[in-house]
Amino acid sequence: MQDDFFGIPEALKELDPKASKAPAKQRKEAESAPEGDAAFDAVPSVQPKARKGSLQAVDWSEELRALGQSLPTTLRLGTSSWSYPGWQGLVWEGAHSEQVLSKKGLEIYAKHPLFRTVSIDRSFYRALSASDYARYAALVPADFRFMVKAPSLLTDALVRGDDGRGKEPNPAFLSPELAVQEFLAPAIEGLGKNLGALVFQLSPLPWSMLDQLPEVIERLRTMLCALPPLDPDAPEQVIAVEVRDPQWLAPDIAPLFAQALKDGNATYCLGLHAKMPPLSEQLRLLRRLWPGPLVCRWNLHPIHGPYGYAEAEKRYSPYDRIHHPETELHAEFARLLHTFSEHGQPAYVAISNHAEGCAPMSVEALAREINALTPSA
């Protein structure tokens, strides 16, 4: 991949591995905080209709359906989870509880013209069984693909107490055996051809491990290399690793990280998160892995700070409109996705409500940016 494939000058500053160290108090907040998922009033593509009874899809406009059909077949846009009552009029009609949407919303979600993937985030908090995954797969079309987060049992270096604070080292961290038993095997069996991206989101590391990142990377490489191969008849399936410490992208660490991913037939998951460097700086690592697939989780708007999930939830709930549009990031990201699509590389994108305020609207805005780059558009 050429250095400026995304139009970024080669002379961008390299990351300073020590520049982003947060105060100890903030670090503790980060390690203990659970992850969720003037104002801009965006108008839904369709107006909601009050309707009682069974859950039903919105009558999406022909224009929105055409937008979905115009997107590259290798591109899969979606959201982080789907059980949000505030999406009334955007995804489903009528008012429904979070409990109802958790059980029945996926089938409606998967019919949306723009949604061809979704991130199953609950698997991060508790390992799911093959039957759990199979129930999800039964609710979506054959061409739908899931992004699945590995259990924190595997991806958190610390054992945490009820308050979320780290107590001691986690002996299961990056365990090859448990990665297969608790994650890959059930996900592959249950989702089958609907499996898309398996994501190991590594929680923020304690300072003692950040000071020994090469050893952590070797541990990661060992786990990745021990994983069984994915379905050879489903080349769009991918394993990705997301990190929450910018030190992974430091000039002396990034080459080691990239080589470990290559050795393990995995890729880097772009983390558009307030705790990580901007997209342009993360691309340096992605270039080392080219050609290959793209996986991205757009998690948290930087306005809330690196530990601002609670603030984002408070300000954005019920997630029914865009509060803080990232216009420049949409344009920048659309160009990146367009490049991957032009080269026939699969791309998975899951956007959180915490990114701008309303994930379905964020997906639509990104889809329009991508469509504008298509010659026939």
pLDDT the model gives residue 16: 34
Query: Facing residues of 160 across strands?
Result: 166
- Does the pLDDT at position 21 exceed 50? no
Q: Which of 160, 180, 157, 178 is nearest to 169 (CA)?
A: 157
Instruction: For residues 375 and 366, give the distance between their C-alpha atoms in angstroms, rounded to a whole number.
Output: 17
pLDDT the model gives residue 12: 28
Could you tell me the CA-to-CA distances from 290 to 1, 283, 340 in Å, in that order? 6, 10, 10
Q: Do strands 115-120 and 158-160 pair parallel, antiparallel, or not at all (unpaired)?
A: unpaired
What's the average model confidence in pLDDT over 73-97?
97
pLDDT the model gives residue 198: 98
- Residue 162 sits in a domain whose CATH number is 3.20.20.410
What pLDDT digit, counting tens, does each position of 255-279 carry? 999 999 999 999 999 999 999 999 9
pLDDT the model gives residue 193: 95
Report which of residues 180 and 7 the model is more confident about.
180
Give the chain's radius of gyration (CA, Å): 20
- Does the pLDDT at position 38 exceed 80? no
pLDDT the model gives residue 162: 76
Instruction: Note whether residue 16 is domain-resident.
Output: no
Q: Residue 219 class from Cβ within 10 Å (0-12 exposed, 13-18 middle, 19+ buried)?
A: middle
- Does the pLDDT at position 9 exceed 90? no
Contact predicate 277/284, CB 8 Å: no
What pLDDT digit, counting tens, does each position of 188-220 carry? 999 999 999 999 999 999 999 999 999 999 999
Q: How many domains does the chain have?
A: 1
What's the average model confidence in pLDDT over 293-308?
93
- Does the pLDDT at position 10 exceed 70? no
Q: Residue 38 class from Cβ within 10 Å (0-12 exposed, 13-18 middle, 19+ buried)?
A: exposed
pLDDT the model gives residue 19: 35
Instruction: Note whether residue 68 is domain-resident.
Output: yes
Report which of residues 124 and 44 the model is more confident about.
124
- Does the pLDDT at position 30 exceed 90? no
Instruction: Note whether residue 110 is domain-resident.
Output: yes
Averaged pLDDT score across all residues of the chain: 87
Longest dimension (CA), the chain: 58
Instruction: Note whether residue 14 is domain-resident.
Output: no
Instruction: For residues 209 and 192, give the distance between their C-alpha atoms in angstroms, rounded to a whole number.
Output: 36
pLDDT the model gives residue 32: 37
The three-state DSSP-derived secondary structure of 75-116 is EEEEEECCCCHHHECCCEECCCCHHHHHHHHHHHHCCCCCEE
Print the domain residue range for 367.
24-46+56-372
Q: Where does the pLDDT of residue 221 fall: very low under 50, low under 70, confident under 90, or very high at 90 and above?
A: very high
Model pTM score: 0.87
pLDDT the model gives residue 53: 62
**One-letter amino acid of 101:** L
* Region at 53 (left for phi over 0; alpha for psi -120 to 50; beta for the rest): left
Q: What are phi and psi of 215, to 5 degrees?
A: -70, -40
Could you tell me the CA-to-CA distances from 237 to 60, 192, 240, 297 in Å, in that order? 29, 10, 10, 16
Report which of residues 317 and 46 the model is more confident about.
317
Q: Residue 189 class from Cβ within 10 Å (0-12 exposed, 13-18 middle, 19+ buried)?
A: middle
Instruction: Note whether residue 187 is domain-resident.
Output: yes
Q: What are phi and psi of 31, to 5 degrees?
A: -75, -20
- Does the pLDDT at position 297 exceed 80? yes
Q: Which of 260, 272, 263, 268 is nearest to 290 (CA)?
A: 268
Instruction: Note whether residue 51 is domain-resident.
Output: no
Q: How far apart are the first and last CA of the chain?
A: 26
What pLDDT digit, counting tens, does each position of 315-365 carry? 999 999 999 999 999 999 999 999 999 999 999 999 999 999 999 999 999
**Residue 269: its H or E element:** strand 267-272
Three-state SS at 20: coil
Instruction: Note whether residue 1 is domain-resident.
Output: no
Which DSSP string do the residues of 123-191 spell out, in sequence order?
Answer: GGTSPPPHHHHHHHHTTS-TT-EEEEEPPHHHH-SEEE-TTS-EEEE-TTTT-HHHHIIIIIHHHHHHH
pLDDT the model gives residue 40: 29
What pLDDT digit, counting tens, does each position of 110-168 carry? 999 999 999 999 999 999 999 999 999 999 999 999 999 999 999 999 998 877 777 89
Could you tell me the CA-to-CA distances from 27 to 23, 62, 255 in Å, in that order? 6, 48, 26
Contact predicate 217/260, CB 8 Å: yes
Instruction: Note whether residue 13 is domain-resident.
Output: no
**Residue 66: its H or E element:** helix 62-70
Neighbours of 372 (CB within 10 A): 11
